[in-house]
Structure 1
Amino acid sequence: MRLALLACAVAGVLTLSACGTSATDGDATRAELTSLELDLLTRSGTFTRTSVDLANAESELISACMTAQGFRYRADASAPTAESDEERSLNMKERHERGYGLAAQYGDEKEAAGIAANDAYVAGLSKKNADAYSEALRGDATDFREMRFEGGRNITFSARGCEARSRTSLYGNLDDWVAIAYFPQNLNSELTPRVEKSPKYRKAMNDWRTCMRGQGYTYASPDAAYDQLKAAYRAQGVTTALREREIAVSVADGDCGAEVHVPSTVLALRRAYAQSLPTADKLQLQRLTTIWKTAADGIQ
């Protein structure tokens, strides 16, 4: 039987009063979010290095746990990027190689990404041993729980197995691990309408459109460019000409975004508007940031 963790909602996002900590206006000790809390909220600044370090640590813990149960598990060892927030957002290398990634979505052939070492190892096991591997890693069908976020987003995760043990070891409990992964994202998305109404954002987009016209394109926005190309793939399927157009549009979009600093403008607005979020949401973000930082400090 699947267990469900039913979360309360404040301003459209999760609050963990059902999970152990409630947040009220009377609990507030400070009004301003710190730079670190804004990093977690917007996935900027220190977020990239910290998230990579935590992911690597989690992978090493899983590897040790699986090895103790007689299975091989290769730990990830990713390196944090040295790019700026804007450079990571634009991801020009990816644009030059794959555009928006639409051709891969609508193509008949899978991209040659290779088989991960752990997947290859499991593929070589007997069905009995592969099932045992899966149970050791994530438990069985009776071990899954669900955390419900406002807006109909449900996150399902296992409460047993090496993944769960490793996350509990890092973050203290699984509820906080899930909340750290998804609460800031949901909260950040709440800021989007305000960002898009901002005069600074509208000016940046006007400048972006002017830049794009200079390169021969008349899209209203980056989203509009993406959506029109997506519609073309749905209508035509993957063709060489459409794939080349996708890459050209995506690169022009990125070049213009960099020229007029659209990502930096959006990020600055998000970080500024976050200071006016409801107190309960800010308190929850502060609590989760403390847990996130404690987890990161513990692996140093």
Structure 2
Amino acid sequence: MWVLLCAGLASCAQEPARELTAAEYARLEGAEQLLIQSCMIRAGFRYQPPAAPDGDARQLSLLLLEDVGWARRNGYGGRIQRGILAARPHDPNRLYRESLAPAQRERYDAALSGGRDTKILSARLPGGGTINNAMGGCRGASKDRLYGDRATWFRLDKIASNLQPLYLPELTKDKQFVAALAAWSACMRGHGHIYASPPEIRAALPGLTANLKPGDAHAAEVKLAVAEATCARSSGLAGTARALQPHYLATAARPYAEELAEHGRMLLAALEKAKKTPEEIAP
């Protein structure tokens, strides 16, 4: 599956409201975590908002590299992902939870995420199927305070963030895209790498680095990623994908125009709230 050139939380959703910047999305995430912290303190527990991911970590979801500098620093992000995994056992919230007695731990879990009676939210995805969420407790309450009704937000956000399956099959069959992809593959061959598409690299990557030491795995990633990003630019693949995307996305989004407009309004309203302290955001 292709995931093209955008990485916002709305995942390239086209809305009448403007698309938020990466910094604005980070502010929303930070405000949500501060609301959770305030709620947990009121419940009698400690909670430390996790550190926000840096700019490099925010690009891990892209499956078409075009930033040569990012590729040179990070390869395909293996080192970043290993760092995230290595930090999990030392997460202060995890360590605090583990320090609690069993009965207190159960109350902590209920305060943070809700108990057994938490309402399960369900949303239909544009491409078919449904996704469920049982987020309650302080995590659910933070959504209510920041976005309004969490059930409405959940449904609209899942529409906005799951439009790609509707338009990518058509976009990747476009003659301009097919030609640019062929040029990209030829460029990669010139660098000594035989791949038909960037997703093919992602599928092969675990096998390429599985038996290597971390330093060697990173070096292998960097060599391949730099070639991919270089070719994405020189072949025109990145530019072609970016140019074609609005047309195909607009067609896919048309049946969801009302939902996407409301999603955009909720995002902007939440951004205004995020400028306030947790105590100033109305419950």
Q: Report if TM-score (shorter chain) is over 0.5.
A: yes
CA shift for structure 1 position 83: 12
- Match for residue 54 of structure 1 among 28, 31, 34: 28
Matched with 1:156 is 133
Equivalent pair of 1:204/1:260 in contact (CA under 8 Å): yes
How far did residue 153 of structure 1 move? 4.0
Report the TM-score when normalising by structure 1: 0.70
**Residue 174 of structure 1 aligns to which amino acid in structure 2?**
R
Tell me what 2:203 maps to.
227
Q: Is the 8 A contact 2:14 2:253 kept in 1?
A: no
For residues 1-300 of structure 1, the aligned pairs below 5 Å read: 40-41=13-14, 46-76=20-50, 78=52, 81=55, 90=65, 95-96=71-72, 99-100=75-76, 111-114=85-88, 115-150=90-125, 151-158=128-135, 160-230=136-206, 237-240=210-213, 244-260=219-235, 262-277=237-252, 279-300=254-275
Q: How large is the Cα RMSD of the aligned pairs?
A: 3.6
SS at match of 2:163: helix
The Cα shift of 1:238 comes to 2.5
Displacement, 1:249?
2.0
Q: What's the TM-score, normalizing by structure 2?
A: 0.74
- Which one has a larger percent strand, Structure 1 or Structure 2? 1
Give the corresponding residue for 1:4: none
Range that drifts further, 170-179 or 240-249: 240-249
Q: Do the aligned partners of residues 121 and 179 (structure 1) sit closer, same or farther apart at CA in structure 2, a change above 3 Å counting?
A: same
The Cα shift of 1:254 comes to 2.5
**Gap change, CA 1:133 and 1:94, over 3 Å in 2:** farther
- What CA distance in whole angstroms lies between the structure 2 residues aligned with 1:132 and 1:181? 29
CA contact (8 A) 1:41 1:285 kept: yes
User: 1:243 deviation in Å?
Assistant: 6.4
Shift of 1:142: 2.4
**Which segment is superposed worse, 277-286 or 260-269?**
260-269
Structure 1 residue runs of 5 or longer lacking an equivalent are 1-36
Letter in 1 for 2:259: Q
Q: Kindly provide the amino acid, as one letter, of the partner of residue 239 in structure 1.
A: L
Offset of 1:41 from its aligned partner?
4.1
Q: Which amino acid aligns with 2:212?
A: T
Report the Cα distance in structure 2 between the residues aligned to 1:283 and 1:254, rounded to whole angstroms. Answer: 37
Supply the distance in 1 between the matched residues of 2:159 and 2:192 (Cα, whole angstroms): 40
Are the equivalent residues in 2 in contact too, given 1:99–1:248 (CA < 8 A)?
yes
| Paired residue secondary structure (2:117) | helix
Which secondary structure state, in structure 2, belongs to the residue aligned with residue 186 of structure 1? coil
Question: What is the total number of aligned residue pairs between the two structures?
Answer: 255
Corresponding residue SS for 1:147: strand
